[in-house]
Homo-oligomer: A and B are copies of this chain.
Amino acid sequence: MLELDIRGVSGSIIGEENGLNIQEEFEKYRTKIAEIITDLYKKKDTAGEGLQWMNLAYSQETSWYVKEYAALVENRFDNILILGIGGSALGGIAVTHALLHPYWNMLSKEERNGFPRIFFLDNIDPDQINGLLDILDLRKTLVNVITKSGDTTETMAQYMIIKDRLEKELDDDYRKNIIVTTDKKTGILRQISEQEGYKTFVVPDDIGGRFSVFTAVGLLPFTLVGINIDEIIDGLKDIDQALRNPDINENIAAQNALVHYLLDTKYGKNITVMMPYSDKLKYVADWFIQLWAESLGKSSTIDGNMIHTGPTPIKAIGATDQHSQMQLFNEGPNNKIINFIRVGEFDTTVEIPQIFQYTGIGYLGGKTMNDLMNAEADSTQASLIDYSRPTITIKMPKINGYYIAQLLYMLEMQTAIAGALYNVNTFNNPSVEQTRNYTYALMGRVGYEESANAIKDKILSV
């Protein structure tokens, strides 16, 4: 099981000014935390609460559909191309990068056991799109368009471009190269899909993009590249069972939520650093950034005053960022909580050969890169302790489907509990809509003339 070590935030280790009396705080928040957890599990089936992601461990339906389709198209495509942005892309990127060979897209088809390469187009940069079209044979590419609302400007523009190209290459057969993941009933993309006859998959109701990785949004691409999603579902079930426990002393998601909340609101640690000591987990940090930022970054009016909440999540990679951000984390303002993710056992080992024995680097010979990775993580934490900085370690026994599911789900649950502590609506993102309306206005969408007037004076680019 995934483990959490929060000793590094304890006042007895980093000093009372910066650290918590953990047992005292757990005692103080025991009832509140139990209420929050009970409440989440009570409301999870209620429509409109945005909590349907808590049920994903127990629904076999998506797995079944996804596997059926994957079996059908086995060996038919060389590439999967995901069109999606934000929550429609970040989970897929995080999990495939964690579980596939680190240079998957550069392996031969044989080395990939016949499974396709996978590409995520999550931006609208024309040079990137043209670059991708240079290297993809669209005839051998399965395009998965992912947008919950069926209305996301960036994704729909990508879709229009790619659909047009596909049709030119394949005539009417192009329809077999497009699959769609969207809302089951509403949205333009649902409507178009039916008209066009695409194979479609569903983003269930009440699951926002940033909580959607274990729906067809993620499970479909994972299966298509050969990832065993049963392992993922098993991991989900086990961690969900563990996180149902309303006792703060036994619930790691609650512990981590509370610790972050207290360190932010009482000790000014308003920056959450996510720092995996693993290259494979580097995009988990990006996925977490959306989860934490969009869920907790909210404004509300309390007694007539506007309150702005939300710690700022940032990404660092161990050991790489010891040579980039660590100087600031150590000596700069003491406003950060550094979350290490450490891997118990890497898939492989690399031994450092015993050469140059009589030089200053001789000491490395005979050790492994695995030893070095561990020594660096230990050293970095020790150094942060010297500077009285709070640290937390999430321990992942191995990087596989089972534990990656546990990691992501634990962070989702931690976010839901933190949202309740901050007293915000964890599951909406109102400000994104304002920006979207401005974009509609600037692009001339009918019905957004008012936004066009509102934005006029604010365009500084002209």
Asked if A249 is at the interface (CB within 8 A of a chain B CB), the reply is: no
Cβ contact within 8 Å between B123 and A102: no
Contacts of A308 in B (CB 8 A): 331-334
Contacts of A123 in B (CB 8 A): 279, 317, 319-320
Complex Cα spacing A299 to B387, Å:
10
Q: Mark A22-51, 1 if CB is under 8 A from B, else 0.
A: 000000000000000000000000000000
Asked if A124 is at the interface (CB within 8 A of a chain B CB), the reply is: yes
Among the listed B270, B319, B363, which residue makes an inter-chain contact with A443, where contact means beta carbons less than 8 Å apart?
B363
Closest approach, in angstroms, between the C-beta of A374 and any C-beta of chain B? 7
Complex Cα spacing A342 to B191, Å:
35
Complex Cα spacing A391 to B458, Å:
11
Complex Cα spacing A327 to B430, Å:
7
Asked if A445 is at the interface (CB within 8 A of a chain B CB), the reply is: yes
Cβ contact within 8 Å between B355 and A160: yes
Among the listed B293, B342, B352, which residue makes an inter-chain contact with A461, where contact means beta carbons less than 8 Å apart?
B342
Contacts of A310 in B (CB 8 A): 328, 331-333
Q: A5-B460, A271-B271, A355-B164 are in contact. Are A455 and B382 (CB under 8 A)?
A: yes
User: Which chain B residue shows the least CB distance to A431?
Assistant: B330
Complex Cα spacing A286 to B285, Å:
14
Complex Cα spacing A52 to B291, Å:
43
Among the listed B279, B327, B360, which residue makes an inter-chain contact with A431, where contact means beta carbons less than 8 Å apart?
B327
User: Which chain B residue shows the least CB distance to A125?
Assistant: B279
User: Which chain B residue shows the least CB distance to A364?
Assistant: B157
Within 277-310 of A, Cβ neighbours of B (below 8 Å) are at 278-280, 286, 289-290, 293-294, 296-299, 308-310
Asked if A63 is at the interface (CB within 8 A of a chain B CB), the reply is: no
Complex Cα spacing A9 to B79, Å:
45
User: Which chain B residue shows the least CB distance to A437?
Assistant: B379
Contacts of A326 in B (CB 8 A): 431-432, 435
Cβ contact within 8 Å between B359 and A328: no
Q: A324-B293, A360-B188, A445-B363 are in contact. Are A378 and B348 (CB under 8 A)?
A: no
Q: Mark A200-213, 1 if CB is under 8 A from B, else 0.
A: 00000000010000
Q: Can you sample 8 A-B contacts with CB below 8 Å?
A: A102-B127, A125-B279, A188-B361, A297-B328, A297-B329, A363-B440, A375-B442, A378-B438
**CB-CB nearest 9 A-B residue pairs:** A86-B323, A297-B328, A102-B131, A379-B438, A297-B332, A310-B332, A382-B458, A290-B324, A330-B431
Q: List chain A positions with a Cβ less than 8 A from chain B.
A: 5, 7-8, 13, 85-87, 90, 101-103, 105-107, 111, 122-132, 134-135, 151-154, 156-157, 160-161, 163-164, 188, 191-192, 209, 270-271, 278-280, 286, 289-290, 293-294, 296-299, 308-310, 312, 314-315, 317, 319-320, 322-336, 342, 346-353, 355-356, 359-361, 363-365, 367-383, 385-387, 391, 393, 399, 429-432, 434-436, 438-446, 455, 458-461
